[in-house]
Structure 1
Amino acid sequence: MEWIRPDNPDYDETRKLFNAMIDRRPAVIARCSSPGEVAEALKHARNHNLEVAVRSGGHSVAGMSTNDGGLVIDVRPMKSISVDPEAKTVTAGGGLTWGEFDRATQQHGLAVTGGRASTTGVSGFTLGGGSGWLERAYGFACDNLISVDLVTASGDLVTASEHENPELFWALHGGGGNFGVATSFTFQLHDLGPSVTAGLMLFPGEAATEVTRAYRQVALDAPDQVGTALVYLTAPPEEFVPEDMVGKLAVGMAYL
C-alpha cells in the first residue's frame, strides 16, 4: 500500500477530482491494491479517529470521494477484470472506470448499463444506482449485480449476494457507499447487437422549452432499445460545435 501525505510530490495530483471546484486536503491518501490493504487503511483510520472517504473514479459532483483532514481510501489500483463470455458475466475490480470496463466486455459483444462518461468509476456509479444509456433495456447498473465483495468498517472481508448477506446486497442497490468499501463487483452482462447508433443533437438555448416538450414525447413513445438524455449546458468551443452555437444550448442525446 502507498501512503500519500501532503509532503508527497504526488499529493496534489492524487487528491484531484473530476469536479475541479472541489478542493479538499485529506491528511493522508491510502492507495490500496487489495482488500487486505483496505482493511489496514480502515484500521489506521479507527486508530487515529480519522474521517474516511472512498475514492474510485472521483466523479462525485458533491465531492463525497474526498475530505478535509481525514483519510481517503483510493481503490484505483484495483483494476482487475475477468469476463466469462459463456456465462455472460464479468468480475471487475473496484478501481476500474467504465471506459476500461467496456473495452474488456465489448470484445465479446457484451455490455451492461454503465456511466455516460467513460472516466466515471464503476464503484460509485453502481453503488449509487447507475443510470446510463442502456437502462431502458437492461435496467440500472445495480439491477445487474450478481455479487459484491467489500470490506466493512470493522475490517471484515465479506461477499454480498442474493444468497449471502442478502440484506447487505439489497442495501448496495443504490444505497451509496456507506456500507463498506467495495473491492470487486460481479455483473450479469447482455448481448449488444452487431451495430449501435449514437447521436448528439444541439439546439439554441432559447429553444429549450420547445425541445424539452418534444423530447418528453419522444422518450414516452420510444422502444426500450432507445436510451436518451436531455441536458442543458454551456457548449465549449470544440470542433463539433458550430461557431454560432457556442454558449448555452439545449442538448439532446440518443443511443440506439
Structure 2
Amino acid sequence: MTTITAPDTSAFEALDASLTGDVVVPESPEYDAARRVWNGEVDRRPAAIARCRGVADVMAAVRHARDHDLPASVRGGGHAVAGHAVLDDGLVIDLSGMTGARVDPVARTVQLEGGALNAHLDRETQAFGLAATGGFVSHTGAVGLTLGGGIGHLMRRLGLAVDAVRGADVVTADGTFVRASAEENPDLFWALRGGGGNFGVVTSLTMDLQPLGPQVLAGLVAWPAAQADAVLAFMRDFVADAPDELGLMANLRLAPPLPLFPPEVQGTPIIALVVTWSGDIEAGERFLRPLRAFGTPVADAITTKAYTAHQKMLDAAVPHGRHYYWKSHRLGPLTGEVIDVICTHLGSITSPMSSVPIFCFGGAMARVPEDATAFPHRDAAHDINIVASWLPEQAGESDRHRAWVRGFFDALAPHSRGVYVNFTSDDAQSRVREAYSPTQWDRLRAAKTVWDPTNFFDRNANIPPA
C-alpha cells in the first residue's frame, strides 16, 4: 500500500457525499477531537476520519481506502492502549457513532453495534434483568473487547464475552458484507472469537444473555502493602475452589485521595481485592466473611448495589486523555516467587495513577474447550497487567514510568504463560504469536489468508496471511 504523506483532502469529498455519516479532514474544526483516543499518549494524524452511521457507510469507507491505496484503521471504542484505532496519513473507519444495543428479552440475546461501549451493553441488558460478560471499565468498546476474548467481572460465572457470541455482521477487506455464525462462514466465525480485528470490520455482534441482578454484592477490601504477600496468597487459595458466582481481582497501587481511605493511608502502597458476587446475596455474605476478616484491612466497601454501578467502579481511575503504558503476562497460580516479584515492584511504583490489576480465571470460562474459540490457555490462573499512568503535562517523565513497567514485566517473564491479545501494547507485533496456541495460530492464519489475503486489516495485533 502507498502511504499518503501530503493528502489531498478533496479526494474525500465523494466519500463524504456517499455517507450517512460524515468525513472529517485536517481542516475540519472537529478534527483534533475526532482523532483522539482513550490513551493520551497516542497522537496520530489521519488523512481523514470516516464517521460511519451504518453498514453501508462502512462498506463505502473500506472500498474508498482500497480504491485509493490508502492504509486504514478501524475505531470502535478507541480503547486499545497501543492506539490501533488511529493511524498517520490514512483513513480511520470510525464506528464510534454506531452504539446500538438491541435486546430480545424472549430469545435472551442482544445485537450490539460495532461502536457500542460496555456502558451501552450493560444499560440495555440490565433493563431486562439480563447480562453478558463485559469489561472492567464501562467506556471500553464492547465489540473490540469481545473480539479479543473479553474478560470481565462475570467471566467465572458466564464465561468470556466471546463465549456468548452467536453471530457477527462483517464487512470484509473487499468491502462486501457477510454474516458469520456456526452455520454461515464458520471459519470466519471461529477466527473472530479471539482473533481480534484481523478479519474484517465487525459492524454488529449477536450475543446470548443470562439472567443477572440487577443487584450484586460487590466492592473492594483494601490492606496496606505490608500485607500484600499474605493477601495475594489468600486470594490464590480462596478463588481456587470458589463457586462460579465469585468474580475476583486484585489491584495494587498507591491509595487514592478518596474518603474511603483514612488520611494516613492515602498516597501509600496498598493492595485491594475487588469482589463481584453475582449470586444470592445472603449466600454471598456468608461466603465472603473470611475474605473480609483476613488480616487488618484499612477499607471495606463491599455492599449490595446495582450491577451497572459496579461496572463503572473503576472508570474514574482510567479516564480518557491521561497517558498510559502497560505490559502484561498470563500467569499460573501465584507462587511465592511470583508474589515476591509483585510486592517488590509495587514498592518502586513511579506514579500515584499507576496500578497493577491481577485478574482471577477459573469457573465457567475454564470449562469451555480450548479449540472452541481462538482464546487460549483457559487453564491459566491469572492475567496481570502492569499499568503506568501519568498526566499529559508530565510527558517529560514518560521514560521513568515506562522503565518501571518494563522492569516489572521482565522480572515476571520467567513465569509467563503468554499474553492476552487485548493487553498487548507497543509489543503487539512481537508478542501476538504468544497470544495463541500453535493450533490456534495456524487456524487463524488460514482464515486470514481466505478473508484478508493482502493484510488490509493490519492496524492491530496482526496475524499475517499464511
Normalising by the smaller structure, the TM-score range is over 0.9
What amino acid sits opposite 2:266 in the alignment?
M
More helix, by proportion: 2
Does 2:191 match 1:171?
yes
What amino acid sits opposite 1:223 in the alignment?
P
What amino acid sits opposite 2:54 in the alignment?
S
Count of aligned residue pairs for this structure pair: 256
In 1, the alpha carbon distance for the partners of 2:47 and 2:133 equals 35
- Aligned position for 2:120: 100
In 1, the alpha carbon distance for the partners of 2:152 and 2:196 equals 17
TM-aligned CA deviation for residue 247 of structure 1: 4.5
In 2, the alpha carbon distance for the partners of 1:28 and 1:235 equals 42
In 2, the alpha carbon distance for the partners of 1:212 and 1:38 equals 46
- Aligned position for 1:204: 224
Moved more, 191-200 or 222-231: 191-200
Q: Which consecutive aligned stretches of 4+ in structure 1 deviate over 6 angstroms post-superposition?
A: none
TM-aligned CA deviation for residue 118 of structure 1: 0.6
Could you give the per-residue CA deviations for residues 189-223 of structure 1, whole angstroms, max 9, x where no partner exists?
Answer: 00114631111222333433222111111221211
TM-aligned CA deviation for residue 40 of structure 1: 1.0
- Aligned position for 2:257: 237
Does 2:242 match 1:222?
yes
- Aligned position for 2:373: none
- Aligned position for 1:249: 270
Over the aligned positions, Cα root-mean-square deviation in angstroms equals 1.5
Quick one: structure 1 residues 239 and 11, their matched pair in 2 at CA, closer, same or farther if it must change by over 3 Å?
Answer: farther
Quick one: structure 1 residues 236 and 47, their matched pair in 2 at CA, closer, same or farther if it must change by over 3 Å?
Answer: farther
Percent identity, please: 46
- Aligned position for 1:83: 103
What amino acid sits opposite 1:37 in the alignment?
D
What amino acid sits opposite 1:221 in the alignment?
D
CA contact (8 A) 1:235 1:241 kept: yes
CA contact (8 A) 1:3 1:30 kept: yes
Quick one: structure 1 residues 4 and 231, their matched pair in 2 at CA, closer, same or farther if it must change by over 3 Å?
Answer: same
In 2, the alpha carbon distance for the partners of 1:242 and 1:74 equals 44
In 2, the alpha carbon distance for the partners of 1:194 and 1:17 equals 31
In 2, the alpha carbon distance for the partners of 1:86 and 1:231 equals 38
In 2, the alpha carbon distance for the partners of 1:58 and 1:178 equals 16
TM-aligned CA deviation for residue 75 of structure 1: 0.3
CA contact (8 A) 2:132 2:161 kept: yes
- Aligned position for 1:125: 145
In 1, the alpha carbon distance for the partners of 2:207 and 2:156 equals 17
In structure 1, the gaps of 5 or more residues are none
Counterpart mapping for 1:28-47 below 5 A: 28-47=48-67
In 1, the alpha carbon distance for the partners of 2:232 and 2:114 equals 36
TM-aligned CA deviation for residue 79 of structure 1: 1.9
Could you give the per-residue CA deviations for residues 23-64 of structure 1, whole angstroms, max 9, x where no partner exists?
Answer: 222221110011111111112211232221111111101211
- Aligned position for 1:185: 205
Does 2:73 match 1:58?
no
TM-aligned CA deviation for residue 248 of structure 1: 3.6
In structure 2, the gaps of 5 or more residues are 1-20, 278-466
Quick one: structure 1 residues 251 and 139, their matched pair in 2 at CA, closer, same or farther if it must change by over 3 Å?
Answer: same
Does 2:142 match 1:142?
no
CA contact (8 A) 2:76 2:141 kept: yes
Quick one: structure 1 residues 13 and 239, their matched pair in 2 at CA, closer, same or farther if it must change by over 3 Å?
Answer: farther
Quick one: structure 1 residues 194 and 152, their matched pair in 2 at CA, closer, same or farther if it must change by over 3 Å?
Answer: closer
TM-aligned CA deviation for residue 241 of structure 1: 3.9
CA contact (8 A) 1:204 1:245 kept: no
In 1, the alpha carbon distance for the partners of 2:209 and 2:81 equals 28
Which structure has the larger Rg?
2
In 1, the alpha carbon distance for the partners of 2:51 and 2:255 equals 35
What amino acid sits opposite 2:239 in the alignment?
A
Quick one: structure 1 residues 173 and 9, their matched pair in 2 at CA, closer, same or farther if it must change by over 3 Å?
Answer: same
Quick one: structure 1 residues 157 and 241, their matched pair in 2 at CA, closer, same or farther if it must change by over 3 Å?
Answer: farther
In 2, the alpha carbon distance for the partners of 1:209 and 1:19 equals 31
More strand, by proportion: 1
- TM-score normalised by length of structure 1: 0.94
In 1, the alpha carbon distance for the partners of 2:253 and 2:36 equals 23
- Aligned position for 1:159: 179
Quick one: structure 1 residues 172 and 247, their matched pair in 2 at CA, closer, same or farther if it must change by over 3 Å?
Answer: farther
TM-aligned CA deviation for residue 76 of structure 1: 1.2
CA contact (8 A) 1:146 1:186 kept: yes
